[in-house]
Amino acid sequence: MTTEALLRDLRRELHDGGLRGCLLVRDLHTGEELGIDPETPLPAASLVKVPLALATAERIRRGELDGGTVLDVEPGRITTPGPTGLSRFRHPARIAIDDLLYLSTCVSDGTAADALFDVTPPARVAAVLQELGLRGMTVRHGMRELSDTPVERFDTDQAHLAHALAIDAGTSGRGHRVPQLDTTRANTGSARAWVELLQALWTPSTIHPEVAGRVRDLMAHNMLRHRLAPDFSSDATTWSSKTGTLLNLRHEIGVVEHSDGRAFAVAVLTESLVPAAVQPGAEALMAACARRLHDHLRQL
């Protein structure tokens, strides 16, 4: 199959599956890449925890922070489905910055991330990205804003109403009545921007090797492995990643490293057009499309 035919097929499959997708797969050694709408910015959701981890680790390296510093963290007390870790705690906890990094990145704990954002505010994270020459990502707010969406205002059996609002209330310019989905107000990034970040983490770049290794290790221990991991994990590969989920958004970025030494960065950002909270078919479709792009690129 030609590259053009493959891209047409994938666009059709995504459309038929009720997804708008922005994908990019890049060979980290040759720079060759294949993608679908990779320049389109979308709200980042929990993907922003990777720049947060990078900025925190860089500040620890510079001596601005001590990873062993213990912080008092108020419980999240969130009861709606989805949030993990401290976000579901009922009582205060005392946790070191290093351990908050683990919870934020590997468990996608929003309360842990906000504790880190309190130490390194969004503007400081954005400044670190700027200093390192990493473009295309905006960091405007912490995670608390993501826990106050329409889905929290409906009963569980009415979650489809929140998703219907997320699907229907956008504008052609990617504005949105739901602030967390408005690209002029939310944390954002394109598939290309996320792949550039992965490239900088996995190959020599302006990121200090110690910091890059720390973030790679965190992503390697990501515990949320229901989305792309089934198509990229095997005894002959290592899959390191971070997911992001918000209303009708389902994202994942990661790097697959093969036993033959080849490595590919993968970014899959999607918007569902189906008003339902649980969509295992969408998760499987995302992974299948990303895998086909990867396999085609690997054979070129």
Say which range, 3-7, 146-150, 210-214, 243-247, has the weakest mean pLDDT: 146-150
Say what the pTM is.
0.92
Say which range, 77-86, 211-220, 245-254, has the weakest mean pLDDT: 77-86
Residues 89/110, Cβ–Cβ less than 8 Å: no
d(CA 53, CA 45): 15
d(CA 249, CA 19): 10
d(CA 269, CA 236): 26
- Predicted local confidence at residue 179, as pLDDT: 75
Burial class (CB in 10 A: 0-12, 13-18, 19+), 235: exposed
- What phi and psi values does residue 31 have, to the nearest 5 degrees? 85, -5
Three-state DSSP class for residue 263: strand
pLDDT beyond 80 at 146: no
Alpha helices in 154-270 (DSSP H): 159-168, 191-202, 209-220, 229-232
What digits encode the pLDDT tens for the residues 55-74?
999 999 999 999 999 999 99
